[in-house]
Structure 1
Amino acid sequence: MKDVVLITNYWHFESEKASSRYLTLANEIVEEGINLEVITSTFYHATKSQRKFNMEFLNSFRYKISLIDESGYDKNISFKRIFSHKRFARNVMSYLNTRKKPDLIYCVIPSLDVAYKVTKYANENNIKVILDIQDLWPESFKMIINIPILSDAIFYPMKRLADKAYSSADHIVAVSQTFVDRAIEVSRKNQFGHSVFLGTELFKFDSIAKKVSNTNMSNSEIRLAYIGTLSYSYDIPSVINALYLLKNRKEGSTVKFIVMGEGPLRKEFEKQAFIKGINCEFKGQLEYSEMVKLLCECDIAINPIVERSAASIVNKVGDYAAAGLPVINTQNSQEYIDYLNEYHAGINCKNGDAEDIARAILKLSNDKLLRREMGVNNRKFAEEKFDRKRTYKTIVNLIKNT
């Protein structure tokens, strides 16, 4: 029986998060009769706290789970986080050196420290290794600390780790083609990689969505949905400004902005919405089922991401597609722009341009047939590109055949 190790700092147990890439993948792997061990952290990134699961719980899975000590951190952008990752990487290597050598290691980026050490260990011991890139580092950090020349110098050690890990992997998987291309640029072993979106368990989404009435509570009100973190990467102010323009001009239907999510800038965004006097409701962090129900009651979705973001195909656009909503997009990711155009599933707007966003909101709010057409097309996008039951077969087959 093939022995596979899956290593990730960012594992989610189902009680922590209802929809998780690696929990889904782990279940798919063991369905193929593969022996699997998941190596993850004692520290849970989402709550910034140490996990306290007992052995009875950990032993209840169909695969082995090993929690490796990580010191933790309070802020996402911090030296403490870097040191925490280094400690986790050292502890992972200590554990691997006591374990029987696996046939294959499936390692997730971030963290770069783990990926670098694991690929080096795998190459030295003739073990196949697949890297799965969930986020680009240091590119994501440089979005926030963006000082010409100085930022390149500060983040050069991180870039060097990334390049070494990418170049040493037997195969590259990533959550978008954009991320695949970044790794392939420096790879010694790969000419091609595998783009597999984070996606969603569409059957689970649909089982919740079936309970939702398709009738909007108010025929005169158009509901514009946003789901995700309320932080520096997301251009909520431009959406607020666009809605303010429409309100002042008394154009189109009444639009209500429904914001689902939490983050460090929530109070600031709420204050901006209040000052502008727009029709807006901040729902906070919802349970997955509640988020799905509310999303499916909306008419339009918006994906507002700041200009310098290194993000590509993000989680929220998969949920928007699953819900069958037309999308207003400001993200500069050429990959997502091209998909929206190809599927005719939404409107791409100029990044940070409130006037352009307002025009898109007005166009969709005034044209029910266009909303429906784009929504149907976006649902097709979900079924073809985001459904994990279909798309994750690429990863599982790669693991089986490597």
Structure 2
Amino acid sequence: MKSIIIIANFCRKFDGTINGRFLYLAEMLANRGFCVELITSDFSHGMKKFKEAPVDAYKSIITYVHEPGYQSNISFKRLYSHWKWGMNVGKYLNSHPIPDYIYCAIPSLTVALKAGKYARRHNVKFIEDVQDLWPEAFGLVIKNRFLRNMLLFPFKLYANRIYELADKVIAVSETYKNRAMSVQGNDATGLCIYLGNDKVVFDSAKLKYHVDKPDGEIWLCYIGSLGYSYDIECVIDALDVVKKREQVKCDIKFMIIGDGPLREKFTCYANEKEIYAEFTGRLSYEKMVGLLCSCDIVVNPINKGAAQSITNKVGDYALSGLPVINTQECEEYRMLIDQYNCGINCEVGNSEDVALAIEKLVLNEKIRLQMGRQSRILAKERFDRRKTYESIVEIFEK
């Protein structure tokens, strides 16, 4: 029996449900006859506390490796925590029987370099799964361009070294795949598999947790982090424009699902503009799906210069069957929206442009519903894990 070690720092809880890309993949591979161990952190990045022990409900082996933890996403303590976890995983691998394959999530970086060097040393096939671009993702935090380039350049070289170690690159977008492949000096190949979601699980939650909406209201929804990359203020400004123009006669409610360091700032801004908004905080995945699918329109407002590509929320938006208003610069996602005609692309940071898109979708139910149907087609073709992850499983089966 071939053995596979999957290394992924940012896994969620292990309570018997199968959530997240790496646990889902681990269970798929275990069900195909592979001996699979998923190595992850004992610290929850999202909840900022240590996880409860995994329940005994999985075919794959779940191994926690200790991480010191941190309270702020933007901090030296976080860098230290990830570095220490990578070192601890390196020690664990050195005491472990040599596997046939190592499948490693990126980020974080230290663990990927440790695992890649271990794989090279022991002639183990090393497959990288690029979830985000570090250090590029931190670019918006450092405003001064010269200082940003100076501070992040060493990390970029570090990331390049990691990408060079891959025998195969998987990535959650073509953009990320191309970045990793750009420094390849060997015969590595690449594959883009979007994060996606399980359509059956999604549709079940949609029915179970549906929320009744008052008559005469249109709900505009955002899900995800309330952090530095996301331009929630642009949407609030757009809603203010719509309100002042008075072309839309119904009430528009802005539903914000998620949490992050700028939640209080965004809440105060919505109150200042007197926008009808609700900040729900973090919800369970199932309840998030129910509320999302009870809405009418979704928004994907990302700041200029952000490194995000095809994010988690994009798959949820597509499966929701709702039209999307998008300000993200990433050409890959903009092209998907145009190709499937499932939403409206707006200029990044342009609240007037977003306001026009909101008015168009609110005032034209036929267009809104047609774009929603196209979103669902996109989901079935590109974001249903039951289909798309087969391409990853085939790598090991062949």
Deviates more, 1:190-199 or 1:74-83: 190-199
The alignment status of 1:26 with 2:33, answered yes or no, reads no
Structure 2 partner of 1:189: 186
The alignment status of 1:369 with 2:345, answered yes or no, reads no
Letter in 2 for 1:44: S
The alignment status of 1:249 with 2:245, answered yes or no, reads yes
The alignment status of 1:238 with 2:267, answered yes or no, reads no
Structure 2 partner of 1:101: 98
In the superposition, relative to structure 1, how do residues 397 and 149 fare at CA in structure 2: closer, same or farther (>3 Å)? same
In the superposition, relative to structure 1, how do residues 117 and 281 fare at CA in structure 2: closer, same or farther (>3 Å)? same
Among 328, 348, 362, the residue aligned to 2:345: 348
Letter in 2 for 1:344: N
Among 136, 149, 162, the residue aligned to 1:152: 149
Structure 2 partner of 1:36: 36
The alignment status of 1:360 with 2:357, answered yes or no, reads yes
What do residues 234-290 of structure 1 show as CA deviations (whole Å, max 9, x unaligned)?
111111111111111111243111111112211211111111112212222222222
In the superposition, relative to structure 1, how do residues 18 and 273 fare at CA in structure 2: closer, same or farther (>3 Å)? farther
**Aligned to 1:217, what secondary structure does the other structure show?**
coil
Aligned equivalents of 2:55 and 2:242: distance in 1?
Answer: 53
In the superposition, relative to structure 1, how do residues 193 and 371 fare at CA in structure 2: closer, same or farther (>3 Å)? same
Aligned equivalents of 2:55 and 2:206: distance in 1?
Answer: 31
CA contact (8 A) 2:8 2:40 kept: yes
In the superposition, relative to structure 1, how do residues 101 and 282 fare at CA in structure 2: closer, same or farther (>3 Å)? same
In the superposition, relative to structure 1, how do residues 214 and 262 fare at CA in structure 2: closer, same or farther (>3 Å)? closer
**Aligned to 1:396, what secondary structure does the other structure show?**
helix
Aligned equivalents of 2:263 and 2:117: distance in 1?
Answer: 42
**Aligned to 1:189, what secondary structure does the other structure show?**
coil
Structure 2 partner of 1:258: 255
Aligned equivalents of 2:57 and 2:291: distance in 1?
Answer: 33
CA contact (8 A) 1:222 1:299 kept: yes
Structure 1 partner of 2:126: 129
What do residues 105-159 of structure 1 show as CA deviations (whole Å, max 9, x unaligned)?
0011011111112111111211100000111000011221142232222122211
The alignment status of 1:85 with 2:82, answered yes or no, reads yes
**Aligned to 2:126, what secondary structure does the other structure show?**
strand
Aligned equivalents of 1:266 and 1:334: distance in 2?
Answer: 28
**Aligned to 1:210, what secondary structure does the other structure show?**
helix
CA contact (8 A) 1:59 1:65 kept: no
What do residues 284-334 of structure 1 show as CA deviations (whole Å, max 9, x unaligned)?
222222211111111111000111210001111211110100000001111
Letter in 2 for 1:135: D
**Deviation of the 1:192 alpha carbon:** 4.1
Letter in 2 for 1:32: R
Structure 1 partner of 2:274: 277
Structure 2 partner of 1:10: 10
What do residues 173-200 of structure 1 show as CA deviations (whole Å, max 9, x unaligned)?
0111100000010012346411111111
Aligned equivalents of 2:56 and 2:325: distance in 1?
Answer: 45
Structure 1 partner of 2:199: 202
In the superposition, relative to structure 1, how do residues 17 and 139 fare at CA in structure 2: closer, same or farther (>3 Å)? farther
CA contact (8 A) 1:19 1:201 kept: no
CA contact (8 A) 2:167 2:189 kept: no
What is the percent sequence identity of the aligned residues?
A: 43
Aligned equivalents of 1:235 and 1:182: distance in 2?
Answer: 25
Aligned equivalents of 1:291 and 1:327: distance in 2?
Answer: 17
What do residues 20-45 of structure 1 show as CA deviations (whole Å, max 9, x unaligned)?
11111111110110001111112221
Aligned equivalents of 2:35 and 2:186: distance in 1?
Answer: 26
Letter in 2 for 1:221: E
Among 273, 293, 297, the residue aligned to 1:296: 293
What do residues 179-229 of structure 1 show as CA deviations (whole Å, max 9, x unaligned)?
0000010012346411111111110011122347798531x3211111111
CA contact (8 A) 1:200 1:318 kept: yes
Aligned equivalents of 1:147 and 1:16: distance in 2?
Answer: 45
**Deviation of the 1:349 alpha carbon:** 0.3
> TM-score under structure 2 normalisation?
0.96
Structure 2 partner of 1:173: 170
Structure 2 partner of 1:225: 221
In the superposition, relative to structure 1, how do residues 251 and 20 fare at CA in structure 2: closer, same or farther (>3 Å)? same
Structure 2 partner of 1:392: 389
CA contact (8 A) 2:210 2:290 kept: no
Letter in 2 for 1:26: A
The size of the alignment, in residue pairs, is 397
Aligned equivalents of 2:189 and 2:115: distance in 1?
Answer: 21
The alignment status of 1:48 with 2:44, answered yes or no, reads no
Aligned equivalents of 1:297 and 1:93: distance in 2?
Answer: 45
CA contact (8 A) 1:212 1:296 kept: no
Aligned equivalents of 1:191 and 1:95: distance in 2?
Answer: 26
In the superposition, relative to structure 1, how do residues 222 and 16 fare at CA in structure 2: closer, same or farther (>3 Å)? farther
**Deviation of the 1:18 alpha carbon:** 6.6
| Gaps in structure 2 of 5+ consecutive residues | none
Among 58, 62, 66, the residue aligned to 2:59: 62
In the superposition, relative to structure 1, how do residues 17 and 333 fare at CA in structure 2: closer, same or farther (>3 Å)? farther
**Aligned to 1:173, what secondary structure does the other structure show?**
strand
**Aligned to 2:145, what secondary structure does the other structure show?**
coil
**Deviation of the 1:6 alpha carbon:** 0.5
Deviates more, 1:143-152 or 1:11-20: 11-20
Deviates more, 1:140-149 or 1:244-253: 140-149
CA contact (8 A) 1:130 1:169 kept: yes
Aligned equivalents of 2:348 and 2:78: distance in 1?
Answer: 30
Letter in 2 for 1:328: I
Aligned equivalents of 1:292 and 1:127: distance in 2?
Answer: 39
| Gaps in structure 1 of 5+ consecutive residues | none
**Deviation of the 1:343 alpha carbon:** 0.2
CA contact (8 A) 1:58 1:65 kept: no
